[in-house]
Amino acid sequence: MSAAARHHSLRGRLLGFVLASILLAALGLGITAYRGALREADAMFDLHLQQMAHSLRGSAPIGSTADTDYGEEGFDVFVQIWGPDGTQVFRSARSALPPRAVLGFSDAVVDGNRYRVYSLQTPMQTVQIAQDMDARQARARALALRATLPMALMAPLLMLAVGWIITRSLAPVQRMRREVAGRADDDLSPLPETDLPDEVRPLVQELNLLFQRVRGAFEAQKNFVADAAHELRSPLTALKLQAESLRRAGDEAGREAATLRLQQGIDRSIRLVGQLLALARQEATETPLDDPSGPVELEALVAEAIAAVLPQAQQRHIDLGLAASTPAQVQGQPAALHILLGNLLDNALKYTPAGGQVDVTLALADQAPVLTVEDSGPGIPEADRERAFDRFYRAAGAGAEGSGLGLAIVQTIAGRHGATVHLGHSQRLGGLRVDVQFPKAAG
């Protein structure tokens, strides 16, 4: 069965089940009421025969026959009366009752006609009274149908009322469907939650939360694309000019200098693109498939990150090392945390002058791991520290060329791990101090 064939309407299913239940219930009750009315009518007619028999004791005229018929129009009652010696003293006209009486109730068939007979004997006479069974049953069915008629009329009215109630109850869902269907592609505003049933309101609330997250992702993507396009324009223009300078260089020394500048420009562009991709990756997904979450030993991670940038520090004669370390473990993604520490060290080495110092410290503060990177560079003025986490922001007079993405990447990864990043002044080295405080380990 295809997926389209399995689709169903909630309104259709509710209407189908409820209306079918009403119809079956009405049918069952109707049949029960009809049979009960037949039994009551039969008992009522028997009682009527008994009462008539008792009322006729000693009151019938003396004679062999009479033209008098008892009963209602179209519903004749036939009577025979015998004296104490067995002589028939009265018989209704057109009566074809048997000549003998069976005391009490009995059924008789005379000339193909069925009769319900009641016989009563007293010391003075014997009274036999009978009704035509066909007429009796026809009257009983009419009474039974009359008893079930209100139910037969109420069932369709009840079905119409239930259908109207279900349609009205599902009207907010239909209204919400029309509103969502009529929206523009870029309309992610919250859906109204007024007049919604309790069963539907949580779904709409979750949709609004989803719209909010998607809207935030779209805004971040739009800003990222705009900023990236702006930032890439300058290095690409510089590469073009450097390539033109290399083409026009007239001597070997000029070509060598132009080639060096071009290589440096390419390296900066590669670094910028790499940081853009890293930032986009960290902002786009919560848990990359190739970077599963798990316990991470920060001490080993710091050692790996320092070893990765140590050649860069040695080239500029910068003293890079682990000043102090306390074993600590956090729950996170090793590759992402490696990127965080790599960007902190890259920034520190970039802005630290040749012959300077960069120290990394790993400690515990109230059982929470704290990772600190300090340098002897110019630092960041206090007024610019809040904006330092903005993408592509570079403080004036920093003295080094960068993309302005390092701290933005650090803050994004730290936020995903529940950590906070604080920028301050290094009292010991005089430059920038970056503290990354991770949440306290569980247990």
- DSSP type of residue 26: H
Is 187 contained in some domain? no
Establish if 41 belongs to a structural domain: yes
Distance CA 194, CA 182 (A): 19
Residues 261 and 297 in one domain: no
For residues 228 and 326, state if they share a domain.
Answer: no
pLDDT tens, 244-291? Answer: 777 777 677 777 777 777 776 777 677 667 666 666 665 555 444 345
Is 192 inside any structural domain? no
For residues 216 and 125, membership in a common domain is answered with no
Same domain, 335 and 429: yes
Of 261, 282, 303, the position where a domain reaches its end is 282
Question: What is the predicted pLDDT for the residue at 99?
Answer: 67
* Token pair belonging to 93: 């006209």
Residues 309 and 355 in one domain: yes
Q: Has this prediction a pTM greater than 0.85?
A: no
Q: Which of 237, 256, 282 is the last residue of a domain?
A: 282
Determine the Cα–Cα distance for residues 110 and 115; give it in Å rounded to an integer: 8
Number of helices (H) and strands (E) in the chain: give both, helices first.
8, 13
In a shared domain, residues 26 and 125: yes
Clarify whether residues 21 and 151 are in a common domain: yes
- How many domains would you assign to the chain? 3
Q: Tell me: do 83 and 159 sit in the same domain.
A: yes
355 and 323 belong to one structural domain: yes
**Which tokens in the block code for residue 378?**
């110019």
Per-residue pLDDT reduced to its tens digit, 368-415: 889 999 998 888 888 777 777 776 666 655 545 555 667 877 888 888
Range of the domain at 15: 11-164
Residue 373: inside a domain: yes
**Final residue before a domain boundary, out of 282, 317, 333:** 282
Residue 239, pLDDT > 80, answer no
Q: Report phi then psi at 424, rounded to 5.
A: -150, -170
Q: Please check whether residue 128 is in contact with residue 83, taking contact to mean a CB–CB distance below 8 angstroms.
A: no
Spatial neighbors of 54 by CB under 8 A, at least 6 apart, are 120
When mean pLDDT is compared across 11-20, 46-55, 257-266, 366-375, the lowest value belongs to: 257-266
Average pLDDT over residues 174-195: 78
What CATH number does residue 269 fall under? 1.10.287.130
17: closest CA among 194, 133, 163, 126? 163
pLDDT number for residue 65: 45
CA distance 335 to 341: 10
Assess whether pLDDT exceeds 80 at residue 306. Answer: yes
68 and 208 part of one domain: no
Does 62 reside within a domain?
A: yes
Residues 120 and 136 in one domain: yes
Domain contains 255: yes
pLDDT of residue 67: 41
Q: From 115, 105, 108, 109, select the one nearest 137 (Cα to Cα).
A: 115
User: What CA–CA distance (Å, rounded) separates 213 from 408?
Assistant: 20
β-pair type (319-325, 357-365): parallel
- Domain holding 339: CATH number? 3.30.565.10
Model confidence over 122-169: pLDDT tens digits? 888 888 888 878 887 888 888 788 778 887 788 888 888 888 888 887
Range with the largest mean pLDDT of 5-19, 60-74, 148-162: 148-162
DSSP code at position 390:
S
Indicate whether 215 belongs to any domain: yes
DSSP, collapsed to helix, strand or coil, labels residue 76 as strand
Is residue 369 domain-resident?
yes
Instruction: Answer yes or no: do 139 and 22 share one domain.
Output: yes
